[in-house]
Amino acid sequence: MQNRPAMSRLEPSTTKPPGRRLPGAWWALRPLLALWLAVAGLMASGPAPAAELDADGVQVLRGAVTALGPEGAFPIGTPTTPVSLPDEWPDSRPDYRGTVWYRVSFTQPAAGQPGAPQPGDMLALWIKRVCSNAEVHVNGRLLARGGRMSLPYTRHCNHPMLVSLPDALLLPGDNVIELRVAGHALASSGSRLRAGALSALQVGPQSVLAARHARATALQVEVPMAASAVLLLTGGFMFVLGYRHRRVSHLAYFGALCVGWALLNARLWWRELPLGHAETEFITVCLLGFTGWAAVQFLLRYGGLRLKLVDRALPVQTALLALSLLAAGQHRLHDVATVWYAVLAFEVGAAALWHVRRRKSTRSVWVMGPLLAVAALAGLIELGVQWAHWPAGAAHASELVVPLVLALVGLRLMQQHGHALQMAEQGRQVLEQRVREATAEIERNFRQLAELKVEQVTAKERKRIAADLHDDLGAKLLTIVHTSDSDRISTLAREALEEMRLSVRGLTGKPVRLADAMGDWRAEIIGRLGQAGIEGQWDAPEDLPHLLSARAFVQTTRILREATSNVIKHSNAARCTITAQIADGDVQIVVTDNGDGISSDMEGRLDRGHGLASMKGRAKQLQGQCLVESSPGYGTVIRLTVPLDRATESAGADSAGR
């Protein structure tokens, strides 16, 4: 009797008037739900027997008597009510919150009978679903308790219970199981699945029921928990990615959708919440509104639509949802939440239809379309459970489908984002290559312009120097040639005048026809050799349409002059032969004498000043070469190779053709 004061919280709630509990908006939606009610009628089953054996010999207990009473034991002398299991409180006692006693009977099967445990095994009790919590008594003895039986109750709505029945507590023949179930009223619950409920009880061998318990736990708890963990990690990553890169803002909304759905399943992880039932349901419904907001924005943004009106309206709608729940209070929370469920379902469905219609011409619809269809089917099943009283097991299927769909959509988004990053990286590399090419082209053009500018300035300065030499120094040298009484001075002045004219010709930069250059070289060399008493012989082709640059003409002239001077001064030769030809784009000139040749001491003297080294240096400046072959008593051979400039060569060919 010491527990008698606890009777006050076992009484039915009377704060909500009887009769129609749903708001007018709910009844306005009833015509749209006629199809669901019809399907619910097809899924409804008739009265079931109080007990039956399934294929494995397990006793399925579908009949019980209920009573309201204190803690400790099933109340004696209190009115009882027979019920069929499963017992859904939203149908049998929608306004009740507290604890209810259930009493069922089962027969312990004798050895060898169907359902009897094997040696080493024992009987067990399996409760597929109890909401929110329960404690189990067998033959008047407390055997198990699922958690806290005082407010706030431990939340066992998704967790099946398996209780071993020790042989010491069982009696031969009939045995009594008494369950004290703690649950909440439908009015204060955001979903029928979180109001009070008790499924049919199953008594049978523990080995058989343990397999069912493990399978149900995996489908109802472990797999959804794993999916929630994956969604939480994936959603957090994608939210950060979309938040940092606003051009892919749909990733941020998809991440928020995944995180919101994972938080909705937090009750699977944390059954001993410190908050009361009303506060928890309020947060859950508000979180569902936030999830709907994220889903609508993701579908619109992913489809390429961004509306300022929607961006402003959805946050306001979420705030109105919370305010309406606060204004309604815990005794009308279910009614208001039901209206909001309909609104959110309509918005998400409309956004999904628009998304599929907008992207129907792209390959994405072949992925997103079926996934959205599966998600819509899961949502319809959830609505069927909420409004058409479908079995609670169907809701567990939808709870598995939605995370799977979100995971597949996430993989698709990551694939697209990775492909976009790959394309962006390729585009960046192509752009960098083009920038490098453009930079190199600009630098090349700048160098060419700089070189052209230098060449222009140099050419202008050369012309000025050439003009000064010709007008000033040339005039003075010419005066000395004609007025000097000394033949030596006149000869030196004449030689200086010729050298000056050669320098002026090189400074002007005008190309010279190779045939004209050959004529000048022949006249000068043969003339000098004849003056020195040496027989000269010149052998060169006459038809030479090529052009020779002014620089090449000047340097070649000086090399030939130096070679002629060496023949005259040092060779003691009687004959000198000069041959010229064009081969492989080069001018090849060979100077051969029949003199004494060059000894080692003579070569050392020639290499000093303007000797052989000067000739080789001038040829090297022209990208050519000057080779000297000589031995004492066998004369000397000088082989000069000067490349023809390709531009002047083609220009010469054009001028010859004209």
d(CA 68, CA 74): 9
Is 60 exceeded by the pLDDT of residue 488?
Answer: yes
8-state DSSP, 54: -
| CA-closest candidate to residue 223, choices 284, 190, 268 | 268
For the chain, what percent of residues have pLDDT higher than 70? 78
Residue 332's φ and ψ, nearest 5 degrees, are -125, 20
CA distance 132 to 146: 9
Which residues are within 8 A (CB) of 69 and not within 5 positions of it... i.e. 6 or more apart?
Answer: 7, 10, 75, 78, 101
Domains of the chain, first to last: 55-214 (2.60.120.260), 511-657 (3.30.565.10)
Inform me whether the pLDDT recorded for 616 exceeds 80. yes
Q: In this predicted model, what pLDDT tens digit does every residue of 320-363 receive, in sequence order?
A: 999 999 999 988 999 999 899 889 888 988 888 888 777 655 55
17 vs 145, more confident? 145
Alpha-carbon span 566 to 577, nearest angstrom: 14
Instruction: Name the β-bridge partners of 205.
Output: 123
| Percent residues over pLDDT 90 in the chain | 29
For residues 426 and 612, which has the higher predicted lDDT (pLDDT)?
426
Average pLDDT for the chain: 80
- Residue tagged 């060898």 (tokens): 112
Neighbours of 481 (CB within 10 A): 17
**Which pLDDT score is estimated for 507?**
60
Q: Helix axis angle, 249-264 relative to 223-244, nearest 10°?
A: 150
Length of the chain: 658
Look at residues 602, 522, 606 and name the one whose alpha carbon lies nearest to residue 562.
Answer: 606
| C-alpha span between 545 and 568 (Å, rounded) | 32
Nearest Cα neighbor of 382 from 368, 369, 397, 403 is 397
Q: Quick one: pLDDT at residue 164?
A: 94
Q: How many CB atoms lie within 10 A of CB 309?
A: 7
Per-residue pLDDT tens over the stretch 383-414: 666 666 666 666 667 777 888 888 888 888 88
DSSP code, position 218: I
Mind listing the pLDDT tens digit for each residue in 510-526? 788 888 888 888 888 88
Compute how many other C-beta atoms are within 10 angstroms of the C-beta atom of residue 102. 22
Q: How big is the chain by its Cα radius of gyration, in Å?
A: 54
Q: ∠ at Cα 156 (155, 157), nearest 5°? A: 100
Q: Is residue 625 within 8 Å of 645, Cβ to Cβ?
A: no
Q: Maximum CA pair distance of the chain?
A: 166
| Pick from 217-226, 448-457, 493-502: least confident | 493-502
Give dist(CA 591, CA 575) in Å, integer.
Answer: 11
Residue 77's CB is within 10 A of a number of other CB atoms, namely 7
Higher pLDDT, 653 or 470: 470
With cut-offs at 50, 70 and 90, classify the pLDDT of residue 601. Answer: low
Residue with tokens 């009687």: 574
Measuring CA to CA, how many Å separate 299 from each of 244, 313, 354, 381, 631? 19, 16, 8, 21, 96
Closest CA to 577 of 540, 538, 627: 538
The phi, psi pair for 204, rounded to 5°, reads -175, -175
Q: pLDDT digit string (tens) for 27-39?
A: 333 333 433 333 3
Place of tokens 């095994």: 121
- Let me know: does 587 contact 644? Beta carbons within 8 Å: yes
Contacting residues for 158 by C-beta, under 8 A, at least 6 apart? 220, 221, 224, 267, 268, 396
Strands 59-61, 51-53: parallel, antiparallel or unpaired by DSSP?
antiparallel
**Strand order of the sheet with strand 197-198?**
87-88, 197-198, 130-131
CA distance 372 to 350: 12
Burial code of 270-300, b = ≥16 C-beta within 10 A, e = fewer? ebebeeebbebbbbbbbbbbbbbbbbbbbbb
∠ CA 42-46-52 to the nearest 5 degrees? 125
pLDDT tens-digit profile of 158-211?
899 999 999 999 998 899 999 999 999 999 998 888 899 999 999 999 999 999
Secondary structure letter of residue 72 according to DSSP: S
> Pick the residue with more confidence: 50 or 489?
489
Query: What does the alpha-carbon distance between residue 277 and residue 298 come to, in Å, rounded to a whole number?
Result: 31
* Cα 495 from Cα 489, distance rounded (Å): 10
In the block, which residue shows the tokens 């397990």? 58
